[in-house]
Structure formats: C-alpha cells, structure tokens
Amino acid sequence: MTEHSFDLVILGGGPGGYVAAIRAAQLGWSVACIDENEQLGGTCLRVGCIPSKALLESSERYHEALHGLAQHGVKVESLDLDLAQMHRRKTQIVKTLAQGIDGLFKKGKVTRFLGRGRLDGPGSILVTSQDGELSLTAKDILIATGSRPAPLPGVEVDGDRIGTSTEALAYDRVPEHLVVIGAGYIGLELGSVWRRLGARVTVLEALDRILPGMDLEIAQAAHQIFKKQGIEFRLQTRVQQAVVQDDRCVVRCEDADPMEADRVLLAIGRVPNTDDLGLDRVGIQVDRRGEIEVAENFATKVPGIYAIGDCIQGPKLAHKASHEALACIERLAGGYGHVDYNTIPGVVYTHPELAAVGQTEEQLKEEGREYRRGVFPMMASGRAQTLGETDGKVKILADAQTDRVLGVHILGARAGDLIAEAAAAMSFGASSEDLAHLCHAHPTLAETLGEAALALHQRAIHIPSTPRVQA
C-alpha cells in the first residue's frame, strides 16, 4: 500500500478543516486534507450556509417583486418564477467558492485526498477511495468531520418526499404543503424560502416556543412576524412518525390528528460525524451526544490528535469551526490561540433576521445576575423607515453594577451584519455606555444599537424616555 507522510493530516474539508489546512500551510508545514466529497467546503458550502443563503436571497427578491415593490411606486406587470434558474445560481455560487478553496490549496501546497478517512492507530490514517486504499502518517492529526442532520425515530427519511435540509435546498418544484419538523434556525430559514415561493408551510415544534436558545422576547416577536408571513406553527406538537402513504406524506404527532403534506423537512438539529472514524481504535472518547471531548487547546486524550468544529461540543456554526481551526493551529505552532465562546454570534437569516451574541435574558435570570436592559424598536429608526424594514428591535443587556455588556439580541433587517458591532464590543469588554458613545453614521441601522445602549440609561433620543438627571 502507498504510504505518505505529513506534518499534519486533517480529516474533513469543511470550514473547520480547510481553514486549518490553509493556516498550517502558511506556517510552512506539510499538510494533507481528506474529504470524501469532490467539492471542498464541507456542509457549509455544499449543503448548508451558502446554498441556503443563496435561496433565501433569491426567494426574498421574488417575494419583494410580488408584494413589496408597489409601495415604492415600482409596477411589475408580469412576474414568473424560474426555479431552475434559482437553483442554477445557487449551484454556480457553490462551485465558484469550492474552486476558490481548490485554488488556495494549490497555492498553499496542501495535498488533497478524495476519499473516506479513518484513524488506523496513533499518527496513522487510512484513506479509502475509488482507487483503493492508501495510508497516511502524520506528526499531528486534526479531526474536523462535522455533522449531519439528526434522525428522528419513526420519520422515514427517503431523500425525496421526506428529507432533510439537503433535499429542501433542491426541491425541483414548489411544494403545495411543506411540513417542517423543528422550529430551529434551519427549519425556519428553509421554511421561509418555500413559503415565499408560494408553498403552504406548517412548522411542528415540540416545545412551547420557536428558536430555543435564542432570547425569548426576540424569538416571540419573530414568531408573530413569521405568522403574519403565513407560516403556520403548531407548538407543543411532538412528531412521532412521518411516512409516505399513497403518494402523500403522513405526519403523526402526539395528541393531534395526522397531517398530510407533499413534502416533509426534518430539521431537529444535527449530530456529529464521529462514528466509523476508528476513534475506538486509538482510544478517543465521545460524550453521550457523540461529540469528541477535547481540552481547551482542542487536544483529545490521545497525544497528537485534535478535534474542532461540529464534531466537538459547542454551537454547530461554521464561524465557530473556522475560529477553532485558527486557534488550534496557532496553539500547535506554539503561539496564542483562543476562542471566546461567549462572543460567538448566532444569526437566523429569515426576514427579518435574528442575531444574537452573549447571554439571553433567561440565562441571566437563571444565574441570578442583576442586569439592566435597553430596548430600541426598528420602527423608530430613520434608516429602517427608508428601507421599509420597520419590524423588530434591538435589546442590550448589561451588568447592573459594572455596565459591562452581557448580551445583545437583534430582530430586524440585516441583523446578521449589525451583530458584528456588538460582538466586537463584547470582545473588548465594552460597557453599554461605550456603545452609547460610539458615533454611528446617519442614517444607518447601526444607530439602533447606539439608541438601545442609550435606552439602557433612559437616555434614548428617538423614543420617549424618562431620563434620570445626570451631571
């Protein structure tokens, strides 16, 4: 069997793995990256972040042309949906970005192996491909194998009528009735895409709220907006079964009548790709969720083997994986590398968007932490009015004594871009007073952050407030 030797072998070419490969190559190491897919970029690029955002953008433009342009005085005489073109655009974006990674690998002299990798002992990996097997040896190994959609017993995913996000990114026609199982961000984003394109969309959620993990007040406000958009929600509805019967999908839930649909999207979270990796061969443990346990420097219990991204603990987000990749490589190189998990933003790319960083109000209450809150409605922003994007609000939570910002939660247009300021502020340990003193360009949506910070001190300008008299 052919054997190749490297300083670092990376298992998985997603935003964790490929970013680690590029950084390690910059440091002059010999690096190999194994991925079983022809296109690099992982879940994020092939069937996650990028294709979903491409479809969100296209479907939003279609919806806007149908329902939003008239108020701007723009008359559209006739309008057609070309779904095939929407998919072609999405596919082209993915292709361009994947080729970009190929190019970066070539420039950085990262060796790419197309195949399935498996740990074969300490410092040793076996790659199985169409051409057979080959063996790699490495000083260090980085596991970045990511995650896949979580299954639900009773829901028979057939990759067609009953599918996961991967199928929902590629439906060849607009479903008449799409049932989404799970009101997390993936279910809501893809539910929004198909709703905008004309499908009836019903979201079934086991809990009594949508978007668990996000600030409740913000999630509830979003829920009301999504309902107005025509998405139907059934909360406290636990799905037990989904099957195809007589060419219809039948979804059965606890304490509810069966429901019929022509497509079902299972979106109840993601599970790590850690089985079938040969972890037990080298003595690496996983926790009850199947996630690899790592120390602060991403080291597993086995010397020379590290893990990052969706296959370890923490939020399953692309930027978290990439951030861990950089921190892990810097640490391996003997430098400084750190991930502050409290300042990792999370974004839901619905319309309007939701974005958050830091702690929610519920978490602060549970901790018994004394805090103050400042809220500013998008309605009162000049920029939001000109954009016609007046739904939503900004909420800033700060420590009652020190005024340090503990959490920022935004519901509104471009919330995903606005949250960057909050994440930067929190990373530098800013107080809400610091945010209030920033000079935001006018008119921008970012002004709402300044106003929310002022509101926390009862000094907001564009909403009524009762200021405390201050020097």
Residue 18 binding ligand AMP, by CB under 6 A: no
**Which of the choices ligand FAD, ligand AMP, none does residue 420 contact, using the CB cut-off of 5 to 8 A by kind?**
none
Residue 3's alpha-carbon distances to 9, 125, 134, 138, in angstroms, are 13, 10, 6, 11
Residue whose token pair is 């005085």 = 73
Residue 337 binding ligand FAD, by CB under 6 A: no
d(CA 89, CA 58): 9
For the segment 349-368, give every residue that binds ligand FAD (CB under 6 A).
349
d(CA 107, CA 112): 12
**Exactly one of 115, 122, 212, 443 binds ligand AMP (CB under 6 A); which one?**
212
**Which of the choices ligand FAD, ligand AMP, none does residue 205 contact, using the CB cut-off of 5 to 8 A by kind?**
ligand AMP
Residue 357 binding ligand AMP, by CB under 6 A: no
For the segment 300-319, give every residue that binds ligand FAD (CB under 6 A).
309-310, 316-319
**DSSP secondary structure, 27-44, as one string:** TT--EEEEESSSSSSHHH
Residue 345 binding ligand FAD, by CB under 6 A: no
- Report the alpha-carbon angle 311-315-318, nearest 5: 75
Torsion angle of alpha carbons 150, 156, 162, 168, nearest 10°? Answer: 20
The size of the interface with ligand FAD (CB under 6 A), counted in residues, is 35
462 annotated active-site: no
Residue 205 binding ligand AMP, by CB under 6 A: yes
**Exactly one of 45, 126, 152, 242 binds ligand AMP (CB under 6 A); which one?**
152
Task: Please say whether the dihedral angle defined by the alpha carbons of residues 218, 219, 222 and 224, taken in this order, is positive or negative.
Answer: negative
Q: Beta strands 111-114 and 31-35: pairing type?
A: parallel
**Exactly one of 6, 8, 9, 15 binds ligand FAD (CB under 6 A); which one?**
15
Residue type, 299: A
| Kind plus residue range of the DSSP H or E element containing 78 | none
Q: Which is nearer to ligand FAD, 121 or 388 (CB)?
A: 121
Residue 358 binding ligand AMP, by CB under 6 A: no
Bond prior to 258 in cis (omega within 30° of 0):
no
Residue 277 binding ligand FAD, by CB under 6 A: yes
Residue 116 binding ligand FAD, by CB under 6 A: yes
Catalytic residue among 440, 442, 457, 462: 442
Q: How far is the CB of 250 from ligand FAD (least distance, A)?
A: 25
d(CA 225, CA 231): 9
Cβ 326 vs Cβ 19: under 8 Å: yes
Helix (H), strand (E) counts: the chain? 14, 22
Residue 183 binding ligand AMP, by CB under 6 A: yes
Residue 182 binding ligand FAD, by CB under 6 A: no
Residue 48 binding ligand AMP, by CB under 6 A: no
**Which of the choices ligand AMP, ligand FAD, none does residue 432 contact, using the CB cut-off of 5 to 8 A by kind?**
none
Structure tokens at 324: 């861990």
Going by C-alpha positions, the residue among 81, 361, 322, 347 that lies closest to residue 196 is 81
Q: How far is the CB of 139 from ligand FAD (least distance, A)?
A: 20
Q: How far is the CB of 180 from ligand AMP (least distance, A)?
A: 9
**Exactly one of 8, 117, 202, 323 binds ligand FAD (CB under 6 A); which one?**
117
How many CB atoms are located within 10 Å of the residue 429 CB? 11
Going by C-alpha positions, the residue among 269, 268, 285 that lies closest to residue 277 is 285
Q: How far is the CB of 272 from ligand FAD (least distance, A)?
A: 9
**Exactly one of 207, 400, 420, 461 binds ligand AMP (CB under 6 A); which one?**
207
For the segment 25-64, give every residue that binds ligand FAD (CB under 6 A).
34-37, 42-44, 48-49, 52
Q: Which is nearer to ligand FAD, 89 or 116 (CB)?
A: 116
Residue 269 binding ligand AMP, by CB under 6 A: yes
d(CA 314, CA 44): 16
Residue 144 binding ligand FAD, by CB under 6 A: yes
Residue type, 460: A
**Residues annotated catalytic, as ranges:** 442
